[in-house]
Amino acid sequence: MSSVALSRTAILEQFHTYGCSREQFRIGGEYERAIVRPNGSPVHYAEPFGIRWFLTQFAKRWGWKPYLEGQNIIALQKDGASITLEPGGQFELSGAPHSDLSSLVEEFSLNRDCVNQLASEAGFRVITAGLTPITSIESIDWMPKGRYVIMREYLPEQGDLAHYMMKGTTSVQCNYDFIDEADCAKKVALCAGVAPLTTAMFANSPLYLNRPTQFQSFRGHIWTRTDPDRTGFPPGLREDFTYERWVDYLLNVPMMFVQREDTWIHAKGRSFYEFMTKGIDGHFPTWDDWELHMTSTFPEVRIKRTIEVRGADCVSHELAVAFCALFTGLLYDDTALSKGLELSQELRYYGTRDERFATACQLGLQGRFINASGSTSILELASRLVQIGADGLERYQPHNRDLLSPLEAQMARGCSPAMDLINAWQSNPTPEHVIDFLSY
């Protein structure tokens, strides 16, 4: 598309090129984790054996290609995958696309082994929780990336917990293909509709400063106080999804930045539509600017060339794999997709989407959705969703059906991972015990 002039019409035409056949469906997992000291205090970028050292060692030992911003290594690439840094040094694997979940598991597992090997040598720990549980947000360093300089100024003007999101949260995400606009609309409606159930099932951020937050997923709550323009369930993620509505949302959402070579320019909240028509500081957008802009919105479901499902706290390796397996079964089997949509429609009778999401963040699987006729437990609804996904995976990739077993075991206990962490904290609230419990 680089030879085509950038316009609303051209952007819509580009979206219509994104679909693929069922035979080409792929799964791409994304996994953020935090590297901390054994007492939970932060590991800084430039210190000996710090975050920069981790990136450098991946390049030296395992052949990852480094990406520099100025003199600082900030990312790595290899075989269609990348390793990047979130603003507080959270270590993210963005995996390559896989046709089989088994390959995704191998990729996650190899990355886990490498990160743990380095952490062991450095005397650090890699933890899986939706929010850093011990240290303060203020004590965490900012990573040396230009876009984060602008984000850390802009976002707190929109939400009082924006820095918590940037420096303290970690999540699991997964990307899925679609055939065409109609197929994309169904999958978006399902993923957005069941997002409160996803949040409850994978809630794993009940602690901050080594004290209960009163939320099972404080990470989820933090997102509601980050920037309402670019988070949650914006226009375009509703039941009436079309490419046109989604593109119009993206064209009108306030921009944060523009990049020109190594320079980051503050967009000061101007829209991409204004960027196209009036420019910003004499600059007019390219297709690269559009691709960058799409990465600066953070809704619960994000649509680019694929559908990115974003609603889970960082959880254990086994549950992270189960998250990817669950939505593979839900989205890549037609019967499961239809049944999942029916369940998501049921949820609409229990208050607003924001109300359901707030309940899931606070109470996890122990919560209840309420309407005029009574209430239904989140656990019951989530269990139905897991069964639909399991049946779909049994039909789509039966040899990977067992990948859902850890999630089914969690559901059988009737609690979110957050409750397991709270129970461990109550038995021994020392920082070292909490970090040991969460260790990757």
The DSSP line for 230-287 is TEES-TTSSTT--HHHHHHHHHHSBP-EEEETTEEEE-TT-BHHHHHHH-BTTB---H
Confidence of residue 242 (pLDDT cuts 50, 70, 90): very high
pLDDT of residue 398 exceeding 90, the answer is yes
Confidence of residue 3 (pLDDT cuts 50, 70, 90): low
Average pLDDT over residues 316-343: 98
Average pLDDT over residues 427-431: 98
Confidence of residue 350 (pLDDT cuts 50, 70, 90): very high
Question: 3-state SS of 175-225?
Answer: EECCCCHHHHHHHHHHHHHCHHHHHHHCCCECEECCEECCCCEHHHHHHHC
Task: Find out whether 117 and 19 touch, Cβ atoms under 8 Å.
Answer: no
pLDDT of residue 4 exceeding 90, the answer is no
pLDDT of residue 1 exceeding 60, the answer is no
65/227 Cα distance (integer angstroms): 34
Q: Are strands 207-208 and 298-299 parallel, antiparallel or unpaired?
A: unpaired
10/180 Cα distance (integer angstroms): 17
Confidence of residue 239 (pLDDT cuts 50, 70, 90): confident
Average pLDDT over residues 297-305: 96
409/416 Cα distance (integer angstroms): 11
- The structure's pTM equals 0.97
Rounded to 5 degrees, what are φ and ψ at 417?
A: -55, -25
CA-only gyration radius of the chain, Å = 21
pLDDT of 373: 86
Task: Find out whether 301 and 310 touch, Cβ atoms under 8 Å.
Answer: yes
pLDDT of 372: 82
108/317 Cα distance (integer angstroms): 8
Average pLDDT over residues 395-402: 98
Average pLDDT over residues 274-287: 93
Instruction: Quick: pLDDT tens for 85-104.
Output: 999 999 999 999 999 999 99
How much is the mean pLDDT over the chain? Answer: 96
322: left (phi over 0), alpha (psi -120 to 50) or beta: alpha
pLDDT of residue 51 exceeding 80, the answer is yes
Instruction: Quick: pLDDT tens for 108-163.
Output: 999 999 999 999 999 999 999 999 999 999 999 999 999 999 999 999 999 999 99
Other CB atoms within a 10 A radius of the CB of residue 352 amount to 10
pLDDT of 177: 98
Task: Find out whether 188 and 119 touch, Cβ atoms under 8 Å.
Answer: no
Task: Find out whether 55 and 73 touch, Cβ atoms under 8 Å.
Answer: yes
261/286 Cα distance (integer angstroms): 13
Task: Find out whether 174 and 224 touch, Cβ atoms under 8 Å.
Answer: no
Confidence of residue 2 (pLDDT cuts 50, 70, 90): low
The helix/strand/coil state of 370 is: strand
Beta bridge partner(s), residue 31: 93, 172
- 347 Cβ neighbours under 8 A, 6+ residues apart: 193, 194, 196, 197, 356, 369, 381
Confidence of residue 436 (pLDDT cuts 50, 70, 90): very high
Sign of CA dihedral 247, 239, 232, 329: negative
